[in-house]
Structures are given as structure tokens and as C-alpha cells.
Amino acid sequence: MFSIIDGGITAPKGFKATGRHIGIKKVKKDMSLIVSDVPAIAAGVYTKSLVKAAHILWDREITKNGGTVKGIVAISGNANACTGQKGIKDNQKMAEHFAKCLGVKKEEILTAATGIIGLDMPMDTILKGIDETYPYLSNKREDAINAASGIITTDTFIKEMALKLDICGKQVTIGGMAKGSGMIHPNMATVLSFITTDINISKELLQKALYESVKDTYNMISVDGATSTNDMALVIANKMAGNPEITEEDEFYEEFKNALCFMNEKFAKDVVHDGEGASKLMEVEITGAATENDARLLAKSIVNDILVKTALYGEDANWGRILAAMGGSGAYFDPQKLNISLESDGGKVSLMENGEPVKFNENKALAVLAEKDIFVKIQLFDGNYSAKSWGCDLGHEYVRINGEYRSRT
């Protein structure tokens, strides 16, 4: 079992971090640095977009090749995406400069960027910022918060967490931070997620645990149906907890994976709660599907659907939009045999039973939909598979935020 502790990215043994404003953005912090005291292994999951930012190409090679890493340098306010060969060279310069500060090889530095697409990197500002920021690296609580603050863009709050668990009598700690608010869609759903841990685990199982975690968390959320060029989740493990190395998918691997899934689900929900202009979170649960793929497709089709999102914003129990979204998902289900209900702290209302519409009290439905967290429960009778997906409403504020994004950043 694991438990939540106070902390963030610096909670595990041997990790330091910090974040500062260096001048890429007008006011907010825009640089984050993370380091491990000892060489660590790393795993990554990346955007499936064919258009990939420079740091995605760089980090993917490092995590694929299995070399050790010592740190991460991340900036916000500039995506370094669609910037051609210059962007690739600038990303390498950023890694090389931080590596020089730490006295390590550039291939031991992972990179990240988020912000406006298509802008040249302000390299003088970035390199000077690295020089001025890395002396502040520490394992203090405040510097974990500073690091989490340095990666956000349109986010309205920082997203961080720390967990502890027992592995073979040794305390293992996991710390993390994430960002995400807009351009959120499944397939590494438009976030930057950084997780540190002191667990001793093989590179192969670290990658497997991260992949399986992302599949059921970040890849099951949607704010606006837009897939980013910059999405990725990274996990760095420095083995300083001192537990015997986990090399098999045994009970200890499952405990670690469950903790990782818990953290990433929390971050995924935070991203949806913080969706640009969002006022409500929608959790869709499908049960009784014929296959796992059908369950996942159906759940995602509902949270992705613009008409469902706008009905949620208007607090309108328009169940026809839910059913229509399911019908266009490409998944199999029997529309003559299903139940649909809405639940929240405001109560529960049944909309369909056994494929037939239910006459419901509109005032009761309004009370359910007036809450911030709405649960859409769909029971099928086609099999034994289930899935959950998370999304948010869509209203006027989303249009305003994205209509002026470049001028506000």
C-alpha cells in the first residue's frame, strides 16, 4: 500500500529542483530544473502527433537508448515546435549548457518546452537563465513548488504530489509535477509530466509501468480534442531507496505501478479540472462492454464530443447527445440494451433504462448538473469490460482564452 505525503518533485532521496522567472514570459516563472545526485534511469511516453517539438525527438532517443540521466531543463512560454533545424540545435544547446553547469554529458540531460508554437527560442535569455537558476537547486519544499510553477502556461494552479510505499522493508518515495490546461486530447493528452522516484527497478519495468499508467490516465482525458506537439511523461529513478532491484512483474512491481497510476490519475483529473475555461469535470464510466477497446472508445467518444460538452456547460440533461456520441465512436454496443444515468453530490437521475427513455424530473436533473463534478454512468450488457474517461464542459471562456493566447503569454 502507498500513502500520500506532503511534497513534490524533490520528495524522493537524491533529487533537487527549482524554478524561476528568466524573461521568456512577461511575469510568471518560465524555467524549471530537476537534478538527481546520482546517475538515474529514465522512461518516457510521448505525443503521437506526427508534428513533434524538438525536445520530444531529443528525449525519445535518450530514453530509448537506455543511457543514464542526471537532470531535466524545462522552459515555458515557447514550445520550440515547428522551428526546423534551428529549433533542434537550440534544444541541444539548452541541454549542453545545463550539462556543463552540472559537469555531465549533454546526453544525460532531458529537455522540455511548452508554450507558443513556431517561435524561435530566445537562446540568450535561456542560457543566461540556466546560469542564474541552477545555483538555487535544492531539495527544499519551496523549490519543489517553484519547479512546478515554472512549467505552467494557461494553468490556473500548480499540479504536484508525493507518495511513499514500502518495498522489501525499504521506504520508496515518488514525487511528481505536471502541467496542462488546453490542447488536451488522448494520445499522451497534452501535458508535461515529470516524476522522480528513488526506487531500484529495471529500465524495462520502469518503462512498462509508465506506459500502462499513461494508457489509463493521460490517454483517457480530453478538454478540447486538440493533440499537442509537445506532450510527454517522464519518470526518473535513481535507485537510492536501497530496495532489491525489481526485475520481475511481482507484487512489488504491482505496488509501484499502482502508486504511479494513482499519481498520474490525480494529475490527469487536475488537468481536466483546470481545462481552459472549464467549470465542470465529467467522469464517464462504461461497464459491460464487449471488449476493452470498445469500452475505451465509448468513454472517450463522450468526453470528446463538443455537443456533450456544451450541454454540460448549459446544465442540460440532453442524453440524446451522449447516445449520439457513442453511436459515432466506431465501437460496438447494443443501443436497445443499455442504461444511462447522471450522478453528483446533487443526487442521481436515470435517463435511459434497457434502451428506453426514462421520464425524469428536469429540476432534479438540474440539481445534479449544477455541481462541479458530474459522473456519467453507462451500463451495457454486451460483455465484461469497463473503462473510465475524464473531460470537462466547454463554454465562452475557452474561446476567450484561446482567442488571445499569443498576446497574453
Question: What are 340's strand-pairing partners?
Answer: 352, 378
Cell of 222: 480530453
In the chain, the amino acid numbered 309 is K
For cell 515547428, the residue is 82
Helix or strand or coil: residue 110? strand
Helix or strand or coil: residue 180? coil
Taking alpha carbons only, the member of 269, 385, 283 closest to residue 331 is: 385
| CA pair distance 401, 406, nearest whole angstrom | 10
In the chain, the amino acid numbered 403 is G
- How many CA atoms lie within 13 Å of 21's alpha carbon, on the beta-carbon side? 7
State the CB neighbour count (10 A cutoff) for residue 375: 18
Taking alpha carbons only, the member of 161, 222, 145, 237 closest to residue 191 is: 222
| The one catalytic residue among 63, 190, 196, 217 | 190
Composition of the chain by helix, strand, coil, percent to 5: 35, 30, 35
In the annotation, is 10 catalytic? Answer: no
Taking alpha carbons only, the member of 325, 302, 321, 301 closest to residue 311 is: 321
Spatial contact of 76 and 41, defined as CB atoms under 8 Å apart = no
Q: Beta strands 373-380 and 281-289: pairing type?
A: parallel
Any idea which residues carry the catalytic annotation? 190
